[in-house]
Amino acid sequence: MCRCRMRPDRVADAPVHNRPALMSKLEIHQLSVHYAATGGGSVHALSDIDLSLDPGDFVVALGASGCGKTTLLSCIAGFMQYSSGQILLDGEVVTGPGAERGVVFQKHALMPWLDVVANVEFGLRMRGVDRATRRATALDKLRLVGLEKFAHSPIYQISGGMQQRVGLARALASDPEVMLMDEPLGALDALTREQIQELILELWWETRKMFFFITHSVEEALFLATELIVMTPSPGRIAHRYQLEFGRRFIECRDARAVKSDSEFIRLREEILGVIQQSAHDELDAA
Ligand SMILES: Nc1ncnc2c1ncn2[C@@H]1O[C@H](COP(=O)(O)OP(=O)(O)O)[C@@H](O)[C@H]1O
Ligand SMILES: [Mg+2]
């Protein structure tokens, strides 16, 4: 049993800069996506997705390959058109990419010819932010991810974990309302992955932004999510939802091992693994 428990008054106690902005809200209503299939017909990639995020919500999407996780993130990011339904950010229909949505990919997509800080400030430069402001912002975000000492290192000289921290700082640089992350830790070794999970929770708690995060790891999903959605394929849909507070417990005690060895954490891990395995069997039976 994890001894650390969230004080119920913690959110009310949070400093003003940690409190949610009043207007921010991401709403997804009855979202469906069909792709044209090679050789004719169509793939029903997403069906009737309903999801709602407020500041401080950390939604994690979990599920087997092909259940539509990346398609969902791409629709929220504005990278692709959906077939029906609606995505609203602060009441406005999402029609394309925007600075209020920061994206972190598994492959961090950094520019190797720029140093660390120039990568972080790149988006600000593209939007015409003046040199002094964008440098100050980038250095501030590098401090948040623990990389201020590496601001002038070439990208190729820093480790994969540090590169992913640069990806996080770059996404944070434009101060987005929503952070969108598609398996950002999938390529990292186990120890680095756990360190960056903790960093992500700290960033989440510090900024109170909305997070939408995709992973294949049940343990990672349980640790990070305030709402975990388990998706199943053909068509991609949300089969189960869990409201969780393990991430908040970590913020309270800063002891990830204690949280992850909590009996409730282990029980839910086994339950969700069972759900995913059952859906994989059902899929095979239907094939
Ligand atoms: N560009 C595309 N054209 C046709 N089918 C696609 C395309 N992208 C994804 N799909 C199909 O849509 C479904 C969902 O894919 P995806 O969103 O990538 O799932 P996940 O990220 O959960 O693995 C899969 O069946 C996949 O093959
Ligand atoms: Mg994917």
Environment of ion ligand 2 (residues, CB < 5 A): 69-70
Going from the Cα of 47 to the center of ligand 1, the distance in angstroms, rounded, reads 13
Q: What is the pLDDT of residue 281?
A: 82
* Atom number, ligand 1, closest to the C-alpha of residue 38: 4
Question: What ligand 1 atom has the least distance to the C-alpha of 68?
Answer: 17
Q: Say how many Å lie between the CA of residue 96 and the centre of ligand 1.
A: 19
Q: Whose CA is nearest to atom 1 of ligand 1?
A: 35
67 lines ligand 1 (CB under 6 A): yes
Each residue's pLDDT, cut to its tens digit, for the chain (287 residues) gives: 444 444 333 333 444 444 444 579 999 999 999 999 888 899 999 999 999 999 999 999 999 899 999 999 999 999 999 999 999 999 999 999 999 999 998 776 899 999 999 999 999 999 999 999 999 999 999 999 999 999 999 999 999 999 999 999 999 999 999 999 999 999 899 999 999 999 999 999 999 999 999 999 999 999 999 999 999 998 999 999 999 999 999 999 999 999 999 999 999 999 999 999 888 888 778 77
Alpha helices for 23-111 (secondary structure H): 69-77
Residue 72 CA to ligand 1 center (angstroms) comes to 10
What are the strands of the beta sheet with 101-104, ordered from one edge? Answer: 101-104, 178-182, 210-215, 58-62, 227-232, 237-243
Give the closest ligand to the alpha carbon of residue 35: 1
Please give the pLDDT value at position 280: 80
Q: What was the pLDDT predicted at 8? A: 37
pTM > 0.75: yes or no: yes
Residue-wise burial string across 18-52, b where 16 or more C-beta atoms lie within 10 A, e elsewhere? eebeeebbbbbeebbbbeeeeeeeebbbbbebebe
Torsion, Cα 219 225 229 232, to 10 degrees, reads -30
Distance of CA 179 to the CA centre of its chain: 6
> According to the model, what pLDDT value does residue 97 have?
95
In order of their start, the domains of the chain are 10-100+178-187+200-286 (3.40.50.300), 107-175 (no CATH)
d(CA 71, CA 143): 32
For ligand 1, atom 25: residue with the closest CA = 66
